[in-house]
Chains A and B, each alone.
Chain A
Amino acid sequence: MDFFVENSIYVTLVIAGMILLGLLVYLNRIEARLRKLEGEKDQ
Chain B
Amino acid sequence: MKYLVVGGALVGGILLGFRPGGLSYPKPRWWRWLAMLSLALLVFLSFWIPTGGTFGGAEMVIIGRGHEAASPVLVEVIEANEGRITGQDENEQKATIDISSLPEATRSELTPGTSVILQLSKSENGGYAALRVIRMNPSITLPLLPALEERARNLYFHVPSAWLAQLAWFIAFAYAILFLRKGRLEDDIKASSTAAVGALFCVLATVTGSIWAKFNWGSFWNWDPRQVSIFIVLAIYGAWFALRSAISSSEQRARVSSIYLVLLALPVTFFIFVYPRITAGLHPGAEGSPTVGPVIDPNEIWLNPTKQALFALGFFAFSLLFFWMVNLSVRSRMIDRKRVASSEHRKEAMPHKAPEIEAIGG
State the A residues within 8 Å of B (CB).
6, 8-10, 12-13, 16-17, 20, 24, 27-28, 30-31, 34-35, 37-38, 40, 42-43
Our pick among B26, B29, B44 for the contact of A17 (Cβ within 8 Å) is B44
Chain A residue numbers with a CB within 8 Å of B46 are: 16
| CB-nearest residue of chain A to B336 | A37
Chain B residue numbers with a CB within 8 Å of A10 are: 47
Mask for B332-361, Cβ within 8 A of A = 1, else 0? 100100000000000000000000000000
B44/A34 in contact, CB under 8 A = no
State the B residues within 8 Å of A (CB).
26-29, 32, 36, 39-40, 43-44, 46-48, 132, 150, 153, 324-325, 328, 331-332, 335
Chain A residue numbers with a CB within 8 Å of B32 are: 28, 31
Contact flag A34-B132 (CB < 8 Å), given A27-B324, A28-B32? no
Chain B residue numbers with a CB within 8 Å of A6 are: 132
Chain B residue numbers with a CB within 8 Å of A8 are: 150
Sample (29) of A-B pairs whose CB atoms are under 8 Å apart = A6-B132, A8-B150, A9-B47, A9-B150, A9-B153, A12-B47, A12-B153, A13-B43, A13-B48, A16-B43, A16-B47, A17-B40, A17-B43, A20-B40, A24-B36, A28-B32, A30-B332, A31-B26, A31-B27, A31-B328, A34-B328, A34-B332, A35-B26, A38-B331, A40-B26, A42-B29, A43-B26, A43-B28, A43-B29
Chain B nearest CB from A22 CB (Å) reads: 12
B26/A20 in contact, CB under 8 A = no
Contact flag A34-B335 (CB < 8 Å), given A10-B47, A16-B47, A43-B29? yes
B26/A13 in contact, CB under 8 A = no
Chain A residue numbers with a CB within 8 Å of B48 are: 13
Chain B nearest CB from A5 CB (Å) reads: 11
Our pick among B36, B47, B132 for the contact of A13 (Cβ within 8 Å) is B47
B328/A27 in contact, CB under 8 A = yes
| CB-nearest residue of chain A to B150 | A9
Closest 6 CB pairs of A and B: A13-B47, A43-B28, A16-B43, A34-B331, A30-B328, A20-B43
A37/B43 in contact, CB under 8 A = no
How many angstroms from the CA of A12 to the CA of B44 in the assembled complex? Answer: 10
How many angstroms from the CA of A30 to the CA of B331 in the assembled complex? Answer: 10
Given contacts A9-B150, A20-B40, 12 further A-B contacts (CB under 8 A): A8-B150, A9-B47, A17-B40, A20-B39, A27-B328, A28-B32, A30-B328, A31-B27, A34-B331, A34-B335, A37-B335, A38-B26
How many angstroms from the CA of A43 to the CA of B33 in the assembled complex? Answer: 12
Contact flag A24-B39 (CB < 8 Å), given A9-B150, A34-B26? yes
How many angstroms from the CA of A20 to the CA of B48 in the assembled complex? Answer: 16
| CB-nearest residue of chain B to A6 | B132
Our pick among A24, A31, A38 for the contact of B335 (Cβ within 8 Å) is A38
Chain B nearest CB from A38 CB (Å) reads: 7
